[in-house]
Amino acid sequence: MQITAAQQDMAAAHVRGAPGVLVSGLVWLIAGGVWAHHDLATGFTALFVGGILIFPASLLISRLVFRAPKAARGNPLERLALESTFVLFAGLFLAWCFLRVAPELAFPAMAVAIGVRYFVFRTVYGAAIYWILGGALAITGALAALRIVTLPVNVALIIGAVEVGFSIVIFLRRKKTAATT
């Protein structure tokens, strides 16, 4: 399977990734709300539990709402997307470690890990917007960790809002691409 065909197949099967970005953004917003109304550790627990649900929920949305087909059997980009999940596991481990020694770094560490993982989706979906999204999340996480800027709300709410915004852009680009073909 050629790379362009593999990317088109993945884009069709996962609605260019828009449902996944949307669900992730909503999970971050929920975690940020829990953090704001309870405490950081409880907010992080919400992020962890919600994070487990991102892929199945986004797949359900893709299939039920958008009637997206399954990816072609043997599409190598499906394996790449799965392999990039290990970046999340590493970020989760580091964030969990930070919860014990420097809790204020837990959410920023996860934001950087999520951002770095999005760079892979440039190849998976053939859409450069994932470099921009990944950069926005990684930079936001780094700025929050380094305290270079004072954030108006907790970083989880910012990450959630950025992801929800990008999911809308990705979805609209999908509709625009579909209209021109």
Give the H/E segment covering residue 16: none
* Exposed / middle / buried, residue 180 (Cβ in 10 Å: 0-12, 13-18, 19+): exposed
Q: Which residues of 40-75 are buried (b: 16+ CB within 10 A; e: fewer)?
A: beebbbbbeebbeebbebbbebbeeebebeebbeeb
Residues 6+ apart with CB under 8 A from 49: none
Q: Is the pLDDT of residue 4 over 50?
A: yes
Mean pLDDT, residues 6-12: 95
pLDDT tens digits, one per residue of 93-127: 999 999 999 999 999 999 999 999 999 999 999 99
Mean pLDDT, residues 141-147: 93
List C-alpha distances in Å: 46 to 40, 84, 112, 179: 10, 22, 18, 38
Confidence of residue 176 (pLDDT cuts 50, 70, 90): low
Whole-model pTM: value is 0.93
Amino acid letter at 22? L
Phi, psi of 84 (to 5 degrees): -70, -15
Question: Quick one: pLDDT at residue 148?
Answer: 79
How many distinct structural domains can be found in the chain?
1
Question: Quick one: pLDDT at residue 178?
Answer: 57
Domain that holds residue 64: 3-180
Please state the separation of Cα 58 from the chain's center in Å: 11
pLDDT tens digits, one per residue of 31-70: 999 999 999 999 999 999 999 999 999 999 999 999 999 9
d(Cα 83, Cα 69) in Å, to the nearest integer? 22
Confidence of residue 152 (pLDDT cuts 50, 70, 90): confident
Q: Is the pLDDT of residue 8 over 90?
A: yes
